[in-house]
Structure 1
Amino acid sequence: MADNRKGVSMWFLIKGSFWFSLVLIALPFLDSSSDKELEAAPPLEVGHSMAAAMEAFEDIKQICVRKPDICETGSETFAALGSRAKQGARIAYEFLDAKFADGEPDLTTASLPPEATEAETASN
């Protein structure tokens, strides 16, 4: 079961990287000021690029079979990053809630973890 989760996490990394790359590639099409800089860029041959991308994609799909330690490390990394992102989102939410809430914000508990806030409320 743990091996399956590692493979899923690595697969999520691969898919996420792919879609993020596509977004970065598409952004210059939306900005007309980047045309001059792109004129000096090497030409893009779509057919050759797609063939190379498909071969790379097939190779990447097999990485967890060939090197399971890479998938394990990737899974651990994403678990740590997920925890940090969760805490960052909580801090941002509390900051925005305190900033835009109706009435006076309670800034004394905004920086405390939820468990500490609940314990403080229960003791009062």
Structure 2
Amino acid sequence: MMFLLRMAFWLGLVLVLLPREKTPESEKMPQIGAADAVSAASAAVSDMSQFCKRQPAACEVGGQAASMIGQRATDGARKLYQMITDKKPNDHTSSIGDDPSESPEGGTAPHDTLEPGDLDVEWRLSAATTQVPQISVPDSTPAN
């Protein structure tokens, strides 16, 4: 709640300080200087601090309302956190993304369905590599 109030304050301050276009309507508006605005803001803050002394019933009801709103916000955040972190069972019917360890019978199916014989690799030389080329070597013995 305080975050929203702070954000509204700073956003309002930025919007007030943005430069304005000169239009005929803006020339008719009263021109207020920065010093006048600061003194008016400080007077408003000091008046707000005295409000609870003048109207104690309104401050008490406002405090209870703020407390109730804060509690509801906390409960809502807790509920949202539980919804995000709780893991729900798969309720979809497609096979994409299903856990392969779960079988329809309720038991667990093995992760690897290959037999040990399926994993043995049959390795053979190809026909091209089994033929050894015949290389003729010149006779290097001296002729007598």
TM-score (norm 2): 0.45
RMSD, aligned α-carbons:
3.1
* One of 55, 59, 71 as aligned partner of 2:47: 59
Residue 46 in structure 1 maps to residue 44 in structure 2? no
The whole-number CA distance in structure 1 between the counterparts of 2:76 and 2:32 is: 39
Kindly tell me the number of residue pairs found equivalent between the two proteins.
80
Aligned pair in 2 of structure 1 residues 52, 69: CA closer, same or farther (>3 Å)? same
1:90 corresponds to: 78
Relative contact order, higher structure (CA 8 A, sep 6+): 1
Moved over 4 A (4+): 26-29, 40-44
- How many Å apart are 1:97 and its aligned residue? 1.3
* One of 44, 59, 64 as aligned partner of 1:71: 59
Residue 23 in structure 1 maps to residue 2 in structure 2? no
- How many Å apart are 1:46 and its aligned residue? 1.6
| Structure 1 portions without partners, runs of 5+ | 1-12, 99-104, 108-124
- How many Å apart are 1:82 and its aligned residue? 1.1
Task: Name the SS for the 2:85 alignment partner.
Answer: helix
- Structure with a larger share of its residues in helix: 1
| Structure 2 portions without partners, runs of 5+ | 90-144
